[in-house]
Amino acid sequence: MGNWLVNNWFSAVVLAAWLGVNIILFGLTFHTYEKSKTFAYTRVILGSSLAWARASAACLNFNCLLILLPVCRNLLSFLRGTCSFCGRTMRKQLDNNLTFHKLVGYTIALLTAVHVIAHLCNIEWYNKSRLEDEDKLLGKLGDIGGENGLWLNPIRSKLDSSVSPTYVAFTTIAGITGVIITLALILMITSSTEFIRRCYFEVFWYTHHLFIVFFAGLLIHGIGRIVRGQTEESMKKHDYDECKNDFDDWDEDNGDCIEPEFEGKPPATWYWVLAPIILYIIERAIRFYRSQQRVVVTKAVIHPSKVLEMQMQKKGFRMEVGQYVFINCPSISQLEWHPFTLTSAPEEDFFSVHIRSAGDWTEKLIDAFQQQKPNTPKIAVDGPFGTASEDVFQYEVSMLVGAGIGVTPFASILKSIWYKFQHADQSLKTKKIYFYWICRETGAFAWFADLLASLEQKMMSSGKADFLNYRLFLTSWDSNIAGQVGINFDNAIDTVTGLKQKTSYGRPIWNNEFSKVAEDNPRSVVGVFLCGPQALAKTLQTCCHQHSNLDPRKVQFYFNKENF
């Protein structure tokens, strides 16, 4: 537990605060609608389903306020910059933006289910109330305010059998918008599953933009003011406790208990969501402006394993190590934007990405460059945006773990290190880097081997051969590779990569790797950076917890993962 707190105490505080606000908001709203005299007569008809509907609505407003903030990428990049002097644990919270976005999204789905079920019950109770005789309190309440609009029961007709709960749901503003909001939410949630996002990204991309419909419906959902309570003026002349049993004597003109009057509260959702909507609109305006700036593709290379390298230039473009951009190719799709980590260093006069074929869009992009037309496809770029890897030079020791094409953010980092050594940069805080690259096939090593070779040479010539400790792992190989490895076992150069560091076969034993790093750096703060699958993330995070020491004078591992 103690080791877990080293990495996650601030995330736990944020999560507890979010959960606490939801619980308090739900509890206070539930109590108001369950106990307040204002809604006493409403409860006669609806019972506790009124409180369930309103409490879930209050929490929905709060979570809808939060849902857009984690995807305001420019805002997060700004906060990352302004938090540069904050503790690393606080900055790490910004890297959980998509996790928090998903958590809030699922919470909205749960609260929506509660809200919808409660209101379906409410419609049924309203419908039963209108059919009661006027010599009963329910019937009396259903007949109040028909002419002056101060009614309590929104289902007004007692005679028309066509006035059913379904009819009410689809003919009122609250009903229609509720159906639209719910359908939009269902489509967004179901299309956000891991399988859909990986195999049918376009479905996820287009469907997720139903959030525009969702928020539009949300803003006008409460305009009809269907859920009503007794007016303050009416409560002065009609006390519920004194008058509820004397409903036969209610009179509009005289007596102690005049007929009660009711009104709906004005919609409050816009108070909650207007500010984040405006902020998100500004965010998208900035991104649209930047995406319209001209991008020049200065070099395009197709590497083995169908990896496209694009080197580009754009006026005013400035980056930090490990950042990423969104790329659009209008000839493929005007609306689709896909995130890719930058593989260039800030010291270079261009920026680059390496794109592996992994879906329809990337296939089409690589094919467009392979066809070698007179003019390369037009490319639009939005960004750069900050990631966890920006903090790599804030640690004394860093462990960089890349799986497959996930090595791309570390290409930028390693290039930047090369330039720093080239110019004898004394500001470099990092004393040692451990780099791990895990690949399935030998071709995937080709485009990165030259960079590692030049780094090897530079470290040796600088007298810092121990600065970079890297290990390459090949998880899939055939008999030919095994034969070549056996024949060339005694050679100084690795058969697969051409590097001095020999390739390992199989997967790393991470407990052994962490133990070695902890042994070699007993008093260091170690930053662990991953760009790879979730299963590997869980393994590394567990190792960080197990090998961290609560004593700040001893080794501590801080886990960081790339999230797009």
At residue 107, the pLDDT reads: 95
pLDDT in tens, 189-221: 998 888 888 777 778 888 988 999 999 999 998
Residue 182 lies in a domain: no
Tally of structural domains, the chain: 3
Which residue is it, tokens 């990337």?
Answer: 362
Q: What per-residue string of b and e applies to 497-523 under the rule 16 or more CB within 10 Å gives b?
A: bebebbbeeeebebeebbeebbeebee
At residue 307, the pLDDT reads: 80
Task: Supply the CATH number for residue 437's domain.
Answer: 3.40.50.80
Half-sphere exposure of 414 (CA within 13 A, CB side): 30
Residue 214 lies in a domain: no
- Most distant CA pair in the chain, distance: 109
Residue 486 clears pLDDT 50, i.e. is over it: no
Same domain, 398 and 376: no
Counting Cβ atoms within 10 Å, is residue 480 exposed (0-12), middle (13-18) or buried (19+)? exposed
pLDDT in tens, 63-97: 999 999 988 888 887 777 665 555 556 666 777 78
Average pLDDT over residues 333-339: 83
Which of the pair, 445 or 544, is modelled with greater confidence?
544
Same domain, 411 and 350: no
β-bridge partners, 402:
437, 531
Task: Supply the CATH number for residue 321's domain.
Answer: 2.40.30.10
The torsion angles phi and psi of 213, rounded to 5 degrees, stand at -65, -40
At residue 211, the pLDDT reads: 92
> 3-state SS string over 183-240?
HHHHHHHHCCCHHHHHHCHHHHHHHHCCHHHHHHHHHHCCCCCCCEEECHHHHHHCCH
Residue of 90, 12, 103 whose CA lies nearest to 63: 103
Domain boundary among 341, 365, 385: 385
Same domain, 250 and 374: no
Q: Among 9-13, 146-150, 156-160, 210-214, whose mean pLDDT is lowest?
A: 156-160
Domain boundary among 341, 369, 385: 385
pLDDT in tens, 8-64: 677 788 899 999 999 999 999 999 999 988 888 888 888 889 999 999 999 999 999
Same domain, 393 and 378: no
At residue 110, the pLDDT reads: 95
Q: Quick check: pTM over 0.85? A: no
Same domain, 126 and 268: yes
Q: What per-residue string of b and e applies to 403-442 under the rule 16 or more CB within 10 Å gives b?
A: bbbbbbbbbbbbbbbbebbeeeeeeeebebbbbbbbbeeb
Residue 209 lies in a domain: no
Same domain, 414 and 355: no
Domain boundary among 334, 361, 385: 385
Residue 280 clears pLDDT 80, i.e. is over it: yes
Residue 509 clears pLDDT 70, i.e. is over it: yes
Single-letter amino acid code for the residue at 159: L
Single-letter amino acid code for the residue at 108: I
Residue 181 lies in a domain: no
Residue 324 lies in a domain: yes
Helix 510-520 crosses helix 534-547 at what angle (to 10 degrees)? 40
* Residues of the domain holding 326: 294-385
- The pair of three-digit structure tokens given for residue 274, joined into one six-digit string: 């207007």
CA distance to 77, 79, 448, per residue, from 387 (Å): 8, 12, 21
Same domain, 506 and 531: yes
Residue of 166, 156, 167 whose CA lies nearest to 129: 156
Same domain, 365 and 305: yes
Residue of 404, 462, 396, 456 whose CA lies nearest to 429: 396
Same domain, 38 and 53: yes
Same domain, 526 and 497: yes
Same domain, 229 and 279: yes
Residue 407 lies in a domain: yes
Residue 12 lies in a domain: no
Residue 446 lies in a domain: yes
What is the spatial distance between Cα 110 and Cα 71, in angstroms, rounded to a whole number? 21
Average pLDDT over residues 311-324: 86
User: pLDDT category, 186, cuts 50, 70, 90?
Assistant: very high
Same domain, 356 and 437: no
Do 365 and 434 touch, CB atoms closer than 8 A? no
